[in-house]
Amino acid sequence: MSPTVNAYFTRSVGMGLPEVQTVIETFDYCSKNLFCCYDGHRVTTLMWESPFGFDNTVFMAHTSCANMFLHVLGVEDKNTNKGMTLIAQAIGVLGRPLAGQDPGRVQNVCYEAVGEQIDLRSFWSRGSQPGGDVFNWKALSQSKYNFLIVRPFIFPRLLDVAPSRTAHFETVELNNQDKLTTLPLDILHVLLPYLPVTSYLSLVSTCRFLRLHALTTFQPNARRLVLDIPWSLPLPADLSLMSPSMTAKVPDREKTPHTADWLLYLSHIHCTSSMRARRWIWALADNLKDTYLAQRATSPVINPATPEYKALQEALERAFELAETELIPAGQCERQVVAVAW
């Protein structure tokens, strides 16, 4: 594991009341069962798994995973009262992640049925005390799931169409016997939006004529296909994890022109390990949101007549007051602790 990847995996976002006093905060991994955050004035420590059962296990997620979860949940700004309330309610409805044999797994979520149906349970081994569970990173790196040991916010570069990509199509001759390629381009433009990614790529691979248009006049359609894939572009929160040199190379939904090589980008996002991991994490985030919505109507933390609702509201009021007195916004601790390798 490289130093940059190790640094990513040793930083996490904790969510939920009452353990995370400001509802959401960024923590560093300090030991097998301890996370901490130092904002320049105050040190916060959290015990991930306590000896009192899964109800006291803290909801922790790697930074990019947390960003995706908050996005699909509909949290526009995690530092506002509205954002903090939605996060606290979601974690309260979902319940604390499990401990013991299933450390960190959210209740009622079947991880192995989501996306690529990845099962990571065999890489965990039980420790002799709470929080002593060990994840075997070496075994993961040697398994078919080794593509997961990446930072899932590393996106392919979106470049202009290189002249070399169209040079050998300059002498394309139209086959007058082909009913498809002899159609007016306006007709083809009407048909393209009805094609999913696989069908579109198959179509433009059938002949040199269509391949040339895929690299030129059909690029806006490739752009549309990319924008229709929710995990294909960086979220605003992802940009804060990148260096300036990285952000300069990633596509922008609004600013990147439709004439760029969106076709090549569409291919690359289905090829890299980082994007493959991101696609799986996004599917998990969607599943968490669906589980939250399914359980919300019957959850006591949403019913104003229950003690759980009143306790959550009181904890939220304290969190709002604490966030207002913080010198920096909740969830934005500066990295002060050198995290050890897992």
pLDDT of residue 328: 46
Axis crossing angle, helix 208-215 with helix 219-227, rounded to the nearest 10: 70
Q: How far apart are CA 264 and CA 156, in angstroms?
A: 10
> 42 - beta bridge partners?
none
Instruction: Please tell me the predicted confidence (pLDDT) of residue 341.
Output: 27
pLDDT for res 342? 26
Write out residues in the chain with pLDDT < 50, as ranges: 53-55, 327-342
**Which residue matches tokens 């904790």?**
14
Q: Full-prediction pTM beyond 0.75?
A: yes
Percent of the chain whose pLDDT exceeds 90: 56
**Residue carrying structure tokens 């930083």:** 11
> What is the per-residue pLDDT for 54?
45
Please give the Cα distance from 12 to 9 (Å, whole number).
Answer: 7
Pairing of strands 134-135, 43-47: unpaired
Instruction: Count CB atoms within 10 A of the CB of residue 255.
Output: 6
Q: Which residues of 288-322 are buried (b: 16+ CB within 10 A; e: fewer)?
A: bbebbeebeeebebbeeeeeebeebeebbeebbee
- Looking at residue 173, its pLDDT comes to 63
